[in-house]
Amino acid sequence: MKFTTEIARQAPLVARQLRRSPRRTALTFLGLVISFFLFTSLESLLYTMSNIVSGASRDALLFTRAADPDYWRAKLPASYAEAIQELPGVVAASPVRFFFGTGRNEGGYAVAMGIEPDAHLKLGIPDGVTGDELRALFTERDAALVGERMLEDNQWKVGDRVTIGGRARQPDLTFTIRGDVARGDRLDRVAIVRLDYLDEVLGGGGRVSFIQVRARDAGIAPAVADAIDRRFANYTMPTETVTEKAHIAPFIASLSDARDGLRIVGYLALAVTLLVVANSVAVGVRERTREIGALRAMGYGRARVMSLVLAEALVVAVVGGSLGALAAYALFQTGRIEVPGAGLVYRSDLSVVVRAALYSIPLGLLAGAQPAWNAVRMTISDALRYSE
Amino acid sequence: MSPRWSRLSLPLRYAWRNAWAHRGATAATLFGVAISVMVYVVMGATADSLKGIAASTGDPANAIALSKGASSAESSRLDAPTANAVRFAPGVLRDASGEPLASVELLAMRRIPIPGLPPDDPASQRFMSLRGVTPAALLVHPGVRIIAGRFPAASGELLIGRLVTENLGAIGIGSEVSIEGRPHRVVGVLGAEGQFFESELWMTLEDLRGKSGDREASAVVLRTSGPAAAAALVDTLEKSRSVNVSAKTEPEYYAQMQRASTAFVYLGNLIGGLLGLGAVVAGANTMYATMSRRIREMGTLRALGFGRWRVGASLLLESTMVSLLGGAIGVLLALAWNGVAFSIVSLSFELAIGPANAARGMAMALAIGAAGGFLPARSASRLEIVAALRHV
- Where is pLDDT greater, at A355 or B51? A355
**Cα-based torsion angle of the residue sequence B18, B20, B24, B29 in order, rounded to the nearest 10 degrees:** 80
> Is B366's Cβ below 8 Å from some Cβ in A?
no
Calculate mean pLDDT across residues B87-106: 91
**Contact (Cβ atoms closer than 8 angstroms) between residue A93 and residue A241:** no
Q: Which of A327-336, B144-153, B313-322 has the lowest mean pLDDT?
A: A327-336
Whether B6 shows a pLDDT value over 50: the answer reads: no
DSSP code string of B321-338: HHHHHHHHHHHHHHHTTT
Question: Domain spans of chain A?
Answer: 2-54+255-385, 68-237
Out of A133-137, B187-191, B239-243, B256-260, the most confident range is B187-191
The single-letter code of the amino acid at A374 is N
Whether B106 shows a pLDDT value over 50: the answer reads: yes
Min distance B307 CA to chain A CA atoms (Å):
25
Report in angstroms the alpha-carbon separations of B239 from A16, B246, B302.
80, 9, 80
Whether B3 shows a pLDDT value over 60: the answer reads: no
User: Are the beta carbons of A271 and B260 separated by less than 8 Å?
Assistant: no
CA distance B298 to B310: 10
CA distance A323 to A326: 5
Predicted pLDDT of residue B2: 43
> Quick one: which of B343, B250, B258 has its CA closest to B51?
B258
Average pLDDT value over all residues in chain A:
81
> Is B76's Cβ below 8 Å from some Cβ in A?
yes
Q: Enumerate residues 112 to 171 of chain A having a beta carbon within 8 A of any beta carbon in chain B.
A: 165-169
Whether B5 shows a pLDDT value over 50: the answer reads: no
DSSP type of residue A172: P
Whether A59 shows a pLDDT value over 70: the answer reads: no
In tens, the pLDDT along B219-238 reads 999 999 999 999 999 999 98
- Where is pLDDT greater, at B193 or B5? B193
Q: How confident is the model at residue B355 (pLDDT cuts 50, 70, 90)?
A: very high
Min distance B244 CA to chain A CA atoms (Å):
10
CA distance B305 to B299: 10
Predicted pLDDT of residue B8: 45
- Where is pLDDT greater, at A326 or B241? A326
In tens, the pLDDT along B56-75 reads 888 899 999 988 766 677 76
CA distance B357 to B49: 11
Chain A hits for B167, CB-CB cut-off 8 Å, are: 254
Predicted pLDDT of residue B313: 85
Whether B201 shows a pLDDT value over 80: the answer reads: yes
Distant-in-sequence, close-in-space partners of B295: CB < 8 Å, separation ≥ 6? B383, B388, B391
**Contact (Cβ atoms closer than 8 angstroms) between residue B122 and residue B211:** no
> Is B154's Cβ below 8 Å from some Cβ in A?
no
Question: Domain spans of chain B?
Answer: 3-55+259-390, 62-223
Helix (H), strand (E), coil (C) string for A190-229? EEEEEHHHHHHHHCCCCEECEEEEEECCHHHHHHHHHHHH
Predicted pLDDT of residue B345: 67
CA distance B66 to B72: 8
Buried b / exposed e along B152-164 (16+ C-beta atoms within 10 A): beeeebbbbbbbb
Q: How confident is the model at residue B132 (pLDDT cuts 50, 70, 90)?
A: very high
Other CB atoms within a 10 A radius of the CB of residue A133 amount to 19
Distant-in-sequence, close-in-space partners of A9: CB < 8 Å, separation ≥ 6? none
Average pLDDT value over all residues in chain B:
84
Strand (E) or helix (H) holding B341: strand B341-344
Min distance B102 CA to chain A CA atoms (Å):
22
Min distance B4 CA to chain A CA atoms (Å):
32
> Is A283's Cβ below 8 Å from some Cβ in B?
yes
CA distance A253 to B178: 18
Q: Return phi, psi of residue B157, to 5°.
A: -115, 145
CA distance B273 to B278: 9
> Quick one: which of B161, B198, B201, B162 has its CA closest to B178?
B201
Out of A75, A265, A388, name the one closest to residue B39 (CB): A265
Best residue in B281, B342, B351 for a mutation probing chain A (most A CBs within 10 Å): B281
CA distance A327 to B235: 53
Strand ranges, E, within B116-260 = 125-133, 145-149, 157-161, 176-179, 182-191, 200-204, 219-223, 245-249
Indicate the pairing of strand B125-133 with strand B200-204: parallel
Helix (H), strand (E), coil (C) string for B39-71? HHHHHHHHHHHHHHHHHHHCCCCEEEEEECCCC
DSSP type of residue B78: B
> Is B391's Cβ below 8 Å from some Cβ in A?
no
**Contact (Cβ atoms closer than 8 angstroms) between residue A274 and residue A363:** yes
Q: Return phi, psi of residue B111, to 5°.
A: -85, 120
Collapsing DSSP states into helix, strand and coil, what is residue A127?
Answer: coil
Predicted pLDDT of residue A105: 64
Chain A hits for B266, CB-CB cut-off 8 Å, are: 339-341
H runs (alpha helix) in chain B: 3-21, 23-57, 80-87, 137-140, 165-168, 205-209, 227-239, 250-255, 259-293, 295-303, 308-335, 355-381, 385-390
Collapsing DSSP states into helix, strand and coil, what is residue B100?
Answer: strand
pTM exceeding 0.80: no
Predicted pLDDT of residue A168: 65
Predicted pLDDT of residue A74: 55
- Rg of chain B over Cα atoms, rounded to whole angstroms, equals 30
Whether A58 shows a pLDDT value over 70: the answer reads: no
In tens, the pLDDT along A258-291 reads 788 888 888 888 888 888 788 888 888 887 888 8
CA diameter of chain B: 96
Q: Enumerate residues 238 to 257 of chain B having a beta carbon within 8 A of any beta carbon in chain A.
A: 256
